[in-house]
Structure 1
Amino acid sequence: MLGKLVTQTEFAELIGVSKQAVHKVLKRGDRLSKSVVKTADGLRIDASEGVLEWFLNGDSSHDRGGHMVTAVGTPRVDGIMALSESNAMRAHYAVLIKQLKFEQAAKRLMPAEKYQREAAEIARTTRDRMLNVPYDVIGFQTRALKNMAKEMGISELDPKLEGAVNGCADAIRRELKVAITKALRDIAAWASQGDATA
């Protein structure tokens, strides 16, 4: 659904740049590709979508000639925000809020608490399965050895050989457990750093 359609001049005033800057972008055809509408009166721009595209798809300082400008083209003074800039920012965040509400209504967003609970449960399940891998490997090795002995017609392994095999299997299990535990700790540390910087 289209929002308010404005002319190139009106759009330029809305975002605080010259009409020439907007015309140049429209001629290039990449930055406002989704918000430009052809009407009987010529090209028009969807104000809300256009503001969102403008700020997300380009370098505004470059479009402004390297400095902020007011609606009449004078430099921004003493850090005071120009009216056109304020309107552009307001329109920009209005679009973001509109998009957020749409995503929420479409059930594309998950509450942070639910996400955290599910992520923690998945992490615990994955950890437990990984820590069980060494025991699974040893179980497989023991079964494979017994099947091999059976195929060779050996009903009972020599106690010394069996002890040596079991000792080797136990050493493999310990090494695997150490390696997997270290890997899980590294992943947990990496995830913690991500949470801290989020």
Structure 2
Amino acid sequence: MTFVILMTCGCPASATRYVRVVAVRAGSRPVRESTRGAGVRGRRAPQHRESNVDAYAQLIEDNDSLRALIQRWRSTPRNTAELLPDMARALRTTAAAKEEVLYPAIRRHDPARGELIDDARRTNMQVEGFLSAAQRLGPEGPGFLDQAHSAAAAADELLLHERRDLYPALRGKSLRETELARIVDRFHTARAMHEEDAGPPPRAVGRVGRDGTH
């Protein structure tokens, strides 16, 4: 199975570079290829989209890409340790952009989903708690894998919840043809800004064997 995920490296916006993470098969080590001026899955400069259908498809693609990266992250103890810095950065910046742009837009266009949005925000807090604990422990700390895997499971469940219960609110007829496109563009812009503010992720300290031993 092959996953392709693109993430910014924290370079200035005028010279954005992307790192392609390719997993050829489960358990393999990431292969990184630098590309310049590339842009997929939301980590690119905002651009006008032709319709709400296109913008919604982009939102779903972002969701699926992050879920694929989560599966890669928790596939082996080695991946869980080595990809923690990148995953923590991706999950935090994405959550911040959703709290800033997507959740308010969903609440505005479909107030009945307010409790679902509150649930999503609480799950984001849970993911942050697990991530913080995993980073505090480090790969050699007791319980590291439990905390990291709990973060992965909660984040994956949240992404599924968003796709199934929250994002459909943005497909309503009340939205003008270009309104969702602007919402998605603002979400991508907010995420890029949070990524730039976060800077490059620190590298994990310590080693974990393939079998989970230290």
TM-score when scaled to structure 1? Answer: 0.26
Structure holding more helix per residue: 1
Higher relative contact order (CA 8 A, sep 6+): 2
TM-score when scaled to structure 2? Answer: 0.25
Structure of higher CA gyration radius: 1
